[in-house]
Structure 1
């Protein structure tokens, strides 16, 4: 019985640890929204939410009983943050860091603004606004960010509840108001986080090739188009087509099980040899694609590095790789551009294969996008 209780306790601790250490979901969720065409609507919605901080700035100005300088500083901060983030979201998709800071700064400003309200009932109502930042952090980020928001809500909610009780001696209203603040700031973000995590697990399963663990063809093309929509200036976009040499001979000689094992190993080798930012997919039987935005020297070296990684595997398999490299810049028609780049990489790969295989050929493709 003691052993069973100990085992149950360890399992509960592991569950809590996994929940607490869940990775930030901003990157995959951003890719998902872009791939489904939902990014523009999301940007407009979040811009409206960000702009709501401007209303809080005027609410703080209407409070009394605080030093004039403090009131104006908090109001100005809310005004700048609200307008600044609304403008950012309307212009482009922010980085993960910018998004996280928006949630943290927004929660902090709402908490300070609520605490500065002279009427404790309004102050406690203001604390419920933290459910919005909590929901945002739960949607785009991780458990630690959500718990930060909850901690802020609990602290300022407690402060406003005590003020309400002291000024009105209404214990029932004070407790009910505090419970509403805690419930909204815990239940709403937790529900959002659960739904998004569940959706994320389904997306991962549907987007990945079962044998190699790489992206399947559909998911690769979706992620690749998102890279073209948000380029990084001063670097090169590289698309690499990798095709295994004489793979049919490997299957015929050693059997399909050996072929599957080789494909699995190739998937592992491509992940290890590629930069962490690379998007890698298995788009055919023995055909793989890699896309990334890298400094010029690294972009040119990438296809050869992929060939070497496959050649070093303890399997009788080599690969030919072709790369199309173009300066990273905004491309209006991302769907057509990725097809053009993949076609150029495919052509280079076949040149490498005709030259004997187990080699790479990289070529600049700037002329493909000249008007």
Structure 2
């Protein structure tokens, strides 16, 4: 199912044994195959019904019309979508659902599945494959959309079809339920395979961000409006294209902004983005007369890892440490890469006084232990190895106890970090306000 990158049979044909799909965990492979088999079985079941394999000329023309609109949409947005595919590291939502959802509402399930297959085949050739997206992901996504479309069609059918009159409340409710089912079925199936592919990746990686889901719901609502418009004035549906293309550009800008603020090796905020976010968070804390803290963490003797195992292994270590830091703090805390082997954490909404300082120390010690217990599997020129025995030194400072601005607090935290380094490394130093020496003048 997956297009192999390097594995071929002696005759030069792709070797199925080299498909990327088989490198997934067995439980994930089982789910992928079960969902794809379910989508095929769903289509075959509908084709087996008395009217399931007989389509009117009107239905065929409508299917061709929706497919044409999707092709035009994809061609107009191809450049944007290729960039978006490369820029989006997180959950990706496909704006072509405006056409697949309209097909689900207007066409018999088997014919809607055919439209979906053609739409996604064209997307694969024009967007997914050039963006280096795995073929097995594309096929699985197509299968989930077929099943989601089937659920949406059933909801509208149970409501008596699309709204025919302005007071058809049942028809409107049917479309709303269809939107909900389409999103839920598609999201759950995608989330399930992500969850089975790796250790718990976090809720955002499973179901996407709130604004991603809002975008998908908005796109489906446009698909519902397009389906209703086709029932009265078919060519009016072409007016859906301009707003969809504007949405493409708006989402692309957001993804590019995220890429510009993200450290490529760790997925954390980069230094500039972290400082901007942290400064805003500290200003909010000061307006609310709250307490916050900054931790600076530095990997001890990290140069030895690069020297012994290479920089690619070092990058794997940085990524593994970043994951531990993210998992070791609350969702509202900010974690960033400060540069080299240094990381920074902003702890917001802390208790005032001694309780807050105790919590800062507790979090810092937890992060230090997480790094110390970390085993990082890496691939090196000498083979697959596991890097262990890592340690991190931590310096911390609080607002307002140790400074009123981010720059002041960072200087105090940095001084405490070097106190931990001088004390023997693999230590936490959050002793209290640290005296920062004044810059020496030329005369001094």
TM-score, normalised to structure 2's length? 0.41
